[in-house]
Amino acid sequence: MKGKVLAERVYLDWNATTPLRAEARAAMIAAMDAVGNPSSVHAEGRVAKGLLETARAQVAAALGAEGADIVFTSGTTEAAALALAGRELSCSGVEHDAIRAWCAEDLSADGRGRVAVPDPARAALQIANSETGVVQELPEGLALSDLTQGFGKLPIAFNWLGCDMGLVSAHKLGGPKGVGALVLKRGLDVPARIRGGGQEMGRRAGTENLLGIVGFGAAAEAAAKELAAGAWEEVSRIRNILDSAIATEAKTTIIVGKAGARLPNTSCFVTPGWKGETQVMQMDLAGFAVSAGSACSSGKVRASQVLTSMGMDEAAASGALRVSLGPGVREDDVLRFAEAWLAKWRKFRDRAA
């Protein structure tokens, strides 16, 4: 019975983390036999070093960052700390907490979630928002962009974005958790925050997470091929079917960012008065994994920081639900989700009447 329940579940929280790709799993299993330390000069060390540098090249190629420096970290949060500590940059309230922790929050988002940046050289601006899916237009000369949600879903070429630094994470595109990278325009340097050895060009000491990095490289390469093959266009089509199924009946529910550019996989529904965490629990019991916002803000009973920064009042912002899809999600999956969600919505509507 337990196995049957698990088999019926549908995972619709791809912006929180993605299923591990077969390519990443295979690469990591193969790398387990590499016994050497990438910093050692003997044959075994050189083998490990070769795996490390192959992964670095794979990530750079997938990100359009050939010639830039890829500094591997434990994830986007550490990469943000490495990039931003000691700098005085501006950001808006729609940025991830890992960015807002280091920046002055003095830029404003409009009602569509778009952010104007008057001084790009002193600002950080994400390429896309994890909660709403809203995609930004990055200005030339931007100091830093959090590319985490866009990498693998949008055609990105770091070398053409015109920004100095970028942040990426493996587990958002089918790689393992616990590994990410800071991308630096060649010639730009950052002081190490973890000091010790000379790993990662002296910018991040400590023996590299070789298995995680190898998985990251394989996942990035596979993600780039998938994007080029048009897989995310199909995801967008299925997401639009979901939007229509919800909007057709739940006419008072707001689909955030629908009128502008969004990630191809993301729908953020706001139903004022119906708590997002309540919706998450009800959908979980119905067999669907969704979220009320960023996974890094889970457990915090409060209105979405992103939505309130866009001008939405707290009462409405507390009723947000995020559904995020991936290439493994079928049309039938989202239609079944919409049916289950609407059944709960009708009960909420009738109680509120």
Q: Which of 91, 163, 268, 296 is catalytic?
A: 296
| HEC string for 48-116 | HHHHHHHHHHHHHHHCCCCCCEEEEECCHHHHHHHHHCCCCCEEECCCCHHHHCCCEEEECECCCCCEC
Do the Cβ atoms of 63 and 168 come closer than 8 Å?
yes
Residue with tokens 């004022």: 272
C-alpha distance from residue 61 to each of 46, 52, 115, 126 (Å)? 22, 14, 29, 20
Provide the sign of the torsion angle of the four alpha carbons 270, 275, 281, 282, taken in this order. negative
Q: Whole-angstrom Cα distance, residue 338 to residue 137? A: 31
**φ and ψ at residue 203, rounded to 5 degrees:** -100, -15
Residue 268 falls in the annotated catalytic set:
no
Residues 30, 173, 219, CA angle at the centre, nearest 5°?
25
Do the Cβ atoms of 76 and 100 come closer than 8 Å?
no
- Which residues form the catalytic set? 296
